A and B are shown apart, each in its own frame.
Chain A
Amino acid sequence: MSYKIEEKGNSRIVHLTGEVDMDVADKARQSILPLIEAGHEVHLNLSKVEYMDSSGISVLIESKKLSEQKNTKFELVEISKPVEKVLAMARKFL
């Protein structure tokens, strides 16, 4: 998995690419949480994520919760089909 961060004012657009699993979940976490911690709005672009498992979903949940604590915004923009399928399954439970 790789990532790229774009800056737009106080917003940060994080682009993840590749497969997000347990092995790289910490890397994904470290690409997002410090930005939220610093008070930035974070828009997560998942259009190039080919695979995401429960560890990746956990990163999304943690990011959302932290953004609520920090009174900032965390949202998903452009979601690939594989991620959309996993999110649909997770939503039944969340």
Chain B
Amino acid sequence: MSEIAHQDHTEKKAFLVNSSSLKDVRSFCREVFQKLKIHEDLKEELVLAIAEAAQNIVKHAFKNNADANELMVVQISCENNKLQIAFYDRGTPVDPNKVKHREIDNVKPGGLGTFFIQEIMDAVEFRDGKKPWINHLVLTKQL
């Protein structure tokens, strides 16, 4: 746990659901974490976890219904030194029971992103998406 008291702060931004937005998602996160004065090492870990979650939206939630105008929203909130990152999208509903990383002895590409998210964050939770959203993923981390 960090000994620094991070100021309470919330920011959100919408991105087009496509792989070229991932760079913008990372830039947005870095800017917000800079304002929150999060340590460089932790900052890059958090950026990776968020980018992997955004990548999962592009890859899975919109796998069969890519639409150039679809948006996903990333919201970063810090309250009482607890960081919460929320994702909203209108893709295929995610079944939380099917979201898991692959088995440890199955050495092949894929599934690592979910593993990274679970390694870096304290909690990963799918909540009910309130209209107009379908999926609402929340990642949390105590700073």
Contact = CB atoms under 8 A, between A and B. Distances in A.
Looking at chain B's contact residues, is the secondary structure mostly helix, strand, loop, or mixed? helix
A22 B22 contact: yes
Contacts of B22: 21-23, 53
Interface residues of A, number: 22
Contact of A54 (B44, B45, B113): B113
A83 B44 CA distance: 11
A47 interface: no
Given A61-B107, A93-B104, A22 B112 contact: no
B61 to A, nearest CB: 14
A23 B48 CA distance: 14
Interface stretch (B51-59, B73-81, B83-91, B123-131): B51-59
B19 interface: yes
B52 to A, nearest CB: 6
B98 interface: no
A22 B108 contact: no
A75 to B, nearest CB: 17
Looking at chain A's contact residues, is the secondary structure mostly helix, strand, loop, or mixed? helix
Interface string B91-130: 0000000000100100111101101100110000000000
Interface residues of B, number: 27
A19 B23 contact: yes
Interface centre among A23, A59, A90, by most chain B C-beta atoms within 10 angstroms, is A23
Interface centre among A53, A58, A85, by most chain B C-beta atoms within 10 angstroms, is A53
Interface of A: 19, 21-23, 51, 53-55, 57-59, 61-62, 65, 82, 85-86, 89-90, 92-94
19 contacts: A21-B19, A21-B23, A21-B51, A22-B55, A22-B58, A51-B44, A53-B48, A53-B51, A53-B52, A55-B113, A57-B109, A57-B112, A61-B108, A85-B41, A85-B45, A92-B119, A93-B104, A93-B115, A94-B107
4 tightest Cβ-Cβ pairs between the two chains A and B: A58-B109, A54-B112, A54-B113, A23-B19
